[in-house]
Amino acid sequence: MVTYIVRRLFTAVLILLGASFLVYQLTALSGDPLADLRESNQPNKEQLIQQRVELLNLDVPAPLRYFRWLGGAAQCLVPFVGSCDLGFAINGQPVTEALGRAMGMTILLVTGAAILAVVVGVCLGIVTALRQYSTLDYGVTFMAFLFFSLPVFWVAVLLKEYAAIGFNNFLREPHIPPATIAVIALVSGILWYICARGTVKRRLLAAVTGFVLAAGILWALSVTRWFSTPGLGLAVILIAGVAIAFGATTLAAGLKNRRALYSALAAVAVGLVLYFPLQPLLAQATTLMIALLAIATILVGIGIGYLMGGYDRRQNINAAAITAVLVAGMVLLDRYMQAWPAYFGNSRINGRPIATIGSETPNLRGDYWVQGLDTFTHLLLPTIALLLISLASYSRYARSSMLEIMNMDYIRTARAKGLGERTVVMRHAFRNALIPIATIVAFDIGGLIGGAVITERVFAFAGMGQLFIEALVRVDPNPVMGVFLVTGIMALVFNLIADLLYSALDPRVRVKV
Amino acid sequence: MRFGRYSKAIGVAAVAALALSACASAGGGAESTGEASATGGTISVAEVNAFSSFNSDTAAGNVDVNGKVAYMTRGGFYHIDNELNVVRNEEFGTYEKVSDDPLVVKYTVKEGVTWSDGDPVDAGDLLLNWVAESGYANDAKSNEEGEVTSGTNYFDYAGDTSGLGLTEIPEIGDDGRSITLTYSKPFADWEIAFGGLQDGGIGMPAHVVAEKAGLADEQALIDLINGLKRGDAEKPAKPNAELKAVGDFWNTGFDSKSLPGDTSLYLSSGPFIVDSVTPDQSITLVRNDSYNWGPKPSIDEVTIRFIGAAPDQVQALKNGEVDIIAPQPSADTVELLNAIDGVTVNIDDQLSYDHLDLNYSGVFADADVREAFMKSVPRQAIVDRIVKPIKEDAAPLNSQFFVPAQEAYTPSAEGNGSSAYAEPDIDGAKELLAGKTPEVRIMYNKDNPNRADAFSLIQESAEKAGFKVVDGGLGASDWGAALGKGGYDASIFGWINSGVGVSGVPQIFRTGSGSNYNGFSDPKADALMDELMVTIEPAEQDKLITQIDKIVWDSFYGLPLFQAVGLDAYNSDRVEGVVYQPNQTGVFWNFWDWKVKGE
């Protein structure tokens, strides 16, 4: 095993060296870094050209300049010296500094989208696999491919136009006209029809339910001016909490396991009881406090499940912990909503909260919740754009992987020995279906750090992609090489991790030493 | 010790409560909705490039947005208005011509003008500015590739040193608030040679630079500069270690993408001071409380946000995230902007212009062929195709030296004979060619659609007159290097008119000059340009340039085609006082007149 890893790392270094040489040459030869000055008729043109030549060492041919760069970059490998030198960008900024900043921005931008894409994509994939060739399956497949093939810059511009500018205009006078309610309710009805299973009569009933439910909620939101002063309140948390308790129990233990259900319901009750005592504490929230509360929430869930006892405490614990986390999430969401009027009325927001550019409102001063809302309103659109295009691959992988597993002999065996469908799907099929997904996710994480060039550009997000593209336009090899180095190393390392992960997760695959 | 189950649980709960309250935010539960008494409101402006340095005068820091931040945070002796006039700010300081020959100019800072840390703006600051911008001590020599072979360049000044380079070490006077510059010969652009806001005003605080460079104080820096010898590239002196330290700090010490912890790195002597920076996203400037030497802005705060692409700027304007934008103009952008309610769009000429140059060699060595080719160029059609879709009243540019915004343009354009080329004269061209069919290779930037359009229109029209036009267009990365290297007969590209000052004239038109790519050479024009460079009266300068303009046209140099178009747009429901400006300062030139409506 160790020899295998060492061998892989050694080839990785060789690949990096070769690729970096190639990328450096391509960048250096991709254009004329003096183009703008040659066209200049400024009296001090020669002097300006000379300054730039000196700054970028243009008097040294590109292949030799590469080795000069390599000399600096090699110092990064020497640990504890801290003399990492990746050179300077045209504007005099050290590349190491620019990279650090850009990486932070890119991680901020893509993390949410990546997690959502995996969770939603895998869920969709599993559900469509379980209901293969149904309307739902065809519908999801169609939508996934539709979004996948949309150009992201176009999606981004549409999102800005309607989800930002249009929605902000709507917020000025948050009243939903009846025609809009009707249309949205109709769409909801159709979705319910597609998702429901059984006879046509039953599905039509579901469609009507969906229609009435959507229309009712929208009407209530409009009448109560919910968009101006949003909030969940205890009632909604209670209703949704009970629903979550039942759902979590169904997945984690099955509704027949009464102890698990009572554990989940107890978790909801604890959340509701703690709602008011927590408010003064939340008013002074910090990130650390929220993290501690999250840990406490999970512990409470585990505690409830443990205390409930029974022959299989693990099922109680799972059901209660999942419920506790989700209910706590709702309490958190409710707190964010309480801060909404303050955020909305802030003079720098000026009643137009959904942003189209950047990651924060400049000079916005507010508490933890207002800052959180600000990050949310800025990340909302780019996250949706990234989510839409990456949903497709995860849902397809998950679907095909699940289908393959469901046709396996051991699934048939599990059914034959009388296991319930929930146990078969959740315990025997689902876990094994995740193995190929895990390796894909590991690989994608490596790619994510490279940034989403177009999305970053459209949303004026100063991440890795932006750094790369701007340096390339200026024919400035140092930042390009910095980005390449980070993404290259990430790709190679996560490739290795994906391979190792596969053999760790799936005992059938073992690396030949 | 044994505890019961309940007391254990209570203990755990107590510890947890303690831990949670310990990490609570210090500010308490106060809901902060607004900020302290703001009266003038805030305005947010979109810019293409990201802020990178508080010193916009260095080669690395010379990015438009850095210059704009400097424009708002520095005091200066004058600024350039939207009609390209020099407007002095006598409240900051005065400058006067003491004598014509030798040319002596005295700059005096008014008493009471200070940096935002309370230190007065005085002769030390002027002197530091002078030593950087004059290149006085620089004695570096470089080879053809631009590599320094001997000597030292102390200051990486991005501007032209040829003007202030004529001056000797200035004399300090008026209790250390004035300096007097003595030129070794008259210098045409003396009025805009020093301390203008658009060049960063009185840039860097001398007391800060002195301290950071390891000198005792500002006086030590003044003494150091007073003791300098003029640099001579032929006889490089031993590098002056102290001046090198000063230069190194001036060159790189103020580069920062974020707000430095050390406030002395971003002192202000202007109306605004930098308040916060989000790297690569935005920079926010607030009022400089001590400022009272010049036009007072009516707004409290300016935020510059960095947005690269034009459509994204337009949507940000529409969404109210920015109030003023100045994107790259295009017909699509103008259409998008016109579709938004409550947005005022300013479209006007820029200082850059496209032109067709004919080489004075090869097929064009013959003046008749040059004239025939000029006659066949459809200038109006080019303007109609390229500029009209954006700016309806666009017209061909009729002077090689002036733009319509300048007073001297009309008389010069009327007298230089440009009227003969208003419309293509195919018959006239045929007559001049007398049956010959010369082959002309035109070089241009293929990747620039405007240049490609101009080329195809010229090609079509010139072929009617009997020319064989060969497409010599090169890609974006190659065409610049090909300029002046031969291998083509004519070229289409752009120059930038400086708007004010005349130093750019000989750079293009003097025999053998750096940007004289087509080999134009006329002894009379050279003599006039020599005279121009030592003429200090603006009216006299205009007269000389008008004469040169005529000579250039008469020698069938080539044709100016059209001026590029600039664009800015602002939310006129909220903001007023925004006025278009053609030079690199852009809309910021009168930021003190900006107002937020209803504030």
* B413: nearest Cα among B390, B376, B379: B379
Instruction: Look over chain B and give the mean of its residue pLDDT values, rounded to a whole number.
Output: 88
HSE (side-chain half, CA atoms, 13 Å) at B486: 3
* A310: nearest Cα among A265, A242, A262: A262
The closest CB to that of A49, out of B146, B255, B319, belongs to B146
Kindly state whether A312 is in contact with chain B, defined as any CB-CB distance less than 8 angstroms. Answer: no
Positive/negative CA dihedral, A153, A155, A158, A162: negative
Whole-angstrom Cα distance, residue B126 to residue B205?
Answer: 9
| Model confidence at B15: pLDDT above 80 | no
Whole-angstrom Cα distance, residue B169 to residue B83?
Answer: 34
Same domain for A371 and A311, yes or no, is yes
- pLDDT score at A452: 81
The closest CB to that of B276, out of A30, A36, A363, belongs to A363
Put simply, the answer to whether A42 touches B275 (Cβ < 8 Å) is no
Write out residues 97-156 of A within 8 Å (CB-CB) of B. 97-98, 101-102, 105
Sequence length of chain A is 513
Put simply, the answer to whether B305 touches A362 (Cβ < 8 Å) is yes
Put simply, the answer to whether B480 touches A35 (Cβ < 8 Å) is yes
Find out whether B16 and A277 touch, Cβ atoms under 8 Å. no
Residue of A nearest to B507 (CA): A43
Put simply, the answer to whether B280 touches A168 (Cβ < 8 Å) is no
At residue B17 the predicted structure's pLDDT band, cuts being 50, 70 and 90, is low
β-pair partners for B595: B576
B211: Cβ contacts below 8 Å, ≥ 6 apart:
B217, B264
Structural domain includes residue A202:
yes
Same domain for A24 and A115, yes or no, is no
- pLDDT score at B1: 46
**What is the DSSP track for B179-226?**
EEEEBSS--TTGGGSS-BGGGTSS-S-HHHHHHHTT-SSHHHHHHHHH
Beta strand B42-47 pairing with B301-306: parallel
Whole-angstrom Cα distance, residue B92 to residue B114?
Answer: 10
Look-up of token digits 């035109």: B442
Domain ranges of chain B: 350-564
Kindly state whether B39 is in contact with chain A, defined as any CB-CB distance less than 8 angstroms. Answer: no
- pLDDT score at A451: 66
Put simply, the answer to whether B31 touches A367 (Cβ < 8 Å) is yes
Same domain for A216 and A129, yes or no, is no
Same domain for A214 and A244, yes or no, is no
| Model confidence at A447: pLDDT above 90 | no
Q: Among A363, A379, A470, A474, pick the best mutation site for testing chain B contact (most B Cβ within 10 A).
A: A363
The closest CB to that of B312, out of A367, A458, A462, belongs to A458
Write out residues 206-265 of A within 8 Å (CB-CB) of B. none
Q: Per residue in B288-331, pLDDT tens?
A: 999 999 999 999 999 999 998 899 999 999 999 999 999 988 88
Q: Per residue in B74-127, pLDDT tens?
A: 999 999 998 888 999 999 999 999 998 889 999 999 999 999 999 999 999 999
The closest CB to that of B158, out of A48, A283, A365, belongs to A48
Averaged pLDDT, B192-197 = 90
Which ranges in B350-402 belong to alpha helices (H)? 367-376, 379-386
3-state SS assignment for residue B333? helix
Put simply, the answer to whether A289 touches B480 (Cβ < 8 Å) is no
Token pair belonging to A183: 């249309």
Find out whether B273 and B287 touch, Cβ atoms under 8 Å. yes
Amino acid at A80: F
Beta strand B558-571 pairing with B343-358: antiparallel
Put simply, the answer to whether A360 touches B30 (Cβ < 8 Å) is no
- pLDDT score at B328: 87
B568: Cβ contacts below 8 Å, ≥ 6 apart:
B324, B325, B326, B345, B346, B578, B580, B586, B587
- Residues of B within 8 A of A43 (CB-CB) are 160, 162, 503-504, 506-507
Whole-angstrom Cα distance, residue B136 to residue B138?
Answer: 6
Put simply, the answer to whether B494 touches A39 (Cβ < 8 Å) is yes
- pLDDT score at A137: 93
Residue of B nearest to A475 (CA): B477
Range of A79-93, A289-303, B9-23 with top mean pLDDT: A289-303
Kindly state whether B252 is in contact with chain A, defined as any CB-CB distance less than 8 angstroms. Answer: yes
Look-up of token digits 């007559």: B431
Instruction: Look over chain A and give the mean of its residue pLDDT values, rounded to a whole number.
Output: 89
Put simply, the answer to whether B278 touches A362 (Cβ < 8 Å) is yes
Put simply, the answer to whether B255 touches A296 (Cβ < 8 Å) is no
- pLDDT score at A353: 93
Put simply, the answer to whether A93 touches B160 (Cβ < 8 Å) is no
How far is CA B91 from each of CA B110, B277, B444, rounded to the nearest angstrom?
Answer: 7, 30, 48
| Model confidence at B36: pLDDT above 50 | no
DSSP collapsed to 3 states, B477-503: CCHHHHCCCCCCCEEEEEEECCCCCCC
- Residues of B within 8 A of A90 (CB-CB) are 60
Q: Among B42, B164, B281, pick the best mutation site for testing chain A contact (most A Cβ within 10 A).
A: B281
Kindly state whether B260 is in contact with chain A, defined as any CB-CB distance less than 8 angstroms. Answer: no
Look-up of token digits 């101006």: A228
Structural domain includes residue A466:
no
Between A299-308, A374-383, B32-41, B198-207, the lowest mean confidence (pLDDT) is in B32-41
Put simply, the answer to whether B53 touches A43 (Cβ < 8 Å) is no
Question: CATH topology for B350-564?
Answer: Dipeptide-binding Protein; domain 3 (3.10.105)
| Distance in Å, alpha carbon of A394 to nearest chain B alpha carbon | 30
Same domain for A351 and A407, yes or no, is yes
B408: Cβ contacts below 8 Å, ≥ 6 apart:
B402, B542, B545, B546
- For A272-306, b/e burial (b = at least 16 CB within 10 A) is eebbeebeebbbbbeeebbebbeebbbebbbbbbe
Same domain for A483 and A359, yes or no, is no
3-state SS assignment for residue B387? coil
- pLDDT score at B144: 62
Token pair belonging to A9: 């790392």
Find out whether A480 and A413 touch, Cβ atoms under 8 Å. no
Positive/negative CA dihedral, B483, B489, B491, B496: positive
DSSP collapsed to 3 states, B452-477: HHHHHHHHHHHHHCCCEEEECCECCC
Kindly state whether B159 is in contact with chain A, defined as any CB-CB distance less than 8 angstroms. Answer: yes
B463 compared with B28, residue with greater pLDDT: B463
Find out whether B278 and A360 touch, Cβ atoms under 8 Å. yes
Find out whether B117 and B263 touch, Cβ atoms under 8 Å. yes
Same domain for A217 and A287, yes or no, is no
Beta strand B575-576 pairing with B558-571: unpaired
Structural domain includes residue A126:
yes
Put simply, the answer to whether A352 touches B319 (Cβ < 8 Å) is yes
Whole-angstrom Cα distance, residue B177 to residue B124?
Answer: 8
- Residues of A within 8 A of B278 (CB-CB) are 358-360, 362
Kindly state whether B19 is in contact with chain A, defined as any CB-CB distance less than 8 angstroms. Answer: yes
As for the ipTM of the complex, it is 0.87
Kindly state whether A26 is in contact with chain B, defined as any CB-CB distance less than 8 angstroms. Answer: no
Q: What is the CA radius of gyration of chain A?
A: 27
| Structural domain boundaries, residue A320 | 100-174+225-445
- pLDDT score at B23: 62
* B493: nearest Cα among B481, B507, B479, B511: B479
Averaged pLDDT, B273-297 = 93
Kindly state whether B340 is in contact with chain A, defined as any CB-CB distance less than 8 angstroms. Answer: no
Same domain for A159 and A259, yes or no, is yes
- pLDDT score at B35: 45
Structural domain total, chain A? 3
Structural domain includes residue A453:
no
Structural domain includes residue A242:
yes
Write out residues 45-84 of B within 8 Å (CB-CB) of A. 50, 52-53, 58-61, 63
A297 compared with B140, residue with greater pLDDT: A297
Same domain for A234 and A327, yes or no, is yes
Put simply, the answer to whether B145 touches A30 (Cβ < 8 Å) is no
Q: Among B31, B152, B160, pick the best mutation site for testing chain A contact (most A Cβ within 10 A).
A: B31
Same domain for A121 and A75, yes or no, is no
Whole-angstrom Cα distance, residue A462 to residue A93?
Answer: 15
Q: Per residue in B353-373, pLDDT tens?
A: 999 999 998 899 999 999 999
The closest CB to that of B29, out of A35, A161, A280, belongs to A280
B202: Cβ contacts below 8 Å, ≥ 6 apart:
B74, B75, B76, B77, B109, B121, B125, B126, B129, B195, B269
B240 compared with B22, residue with greater pLDDT: B240
- Residues of A within 8 A of B156 (CB-CB) are 51
| Distance in Å, alpha carbon of B381 to nearest chain A alpha carbon | 25
Query: Cα angle at A429 between A424 and A431, to 5 degrees?
Result: 120
Same domain for A169 and A192, yes or no, is no
Same domain for A231 and A372, yes or no, is yes
| Distance in Å, alpha carbon of A473 to nearest chain B alpha carbon | 10
β-pair partners for B77: none
Put simply, the answer to whether B30 touches A367 (Cβ < 8 Å) is yes
Helix (H) or strand (E) run with residue B442 in it: strand B439-444
Find out whether A94 and A82 touch, Cβ atoms under 8 Å. no
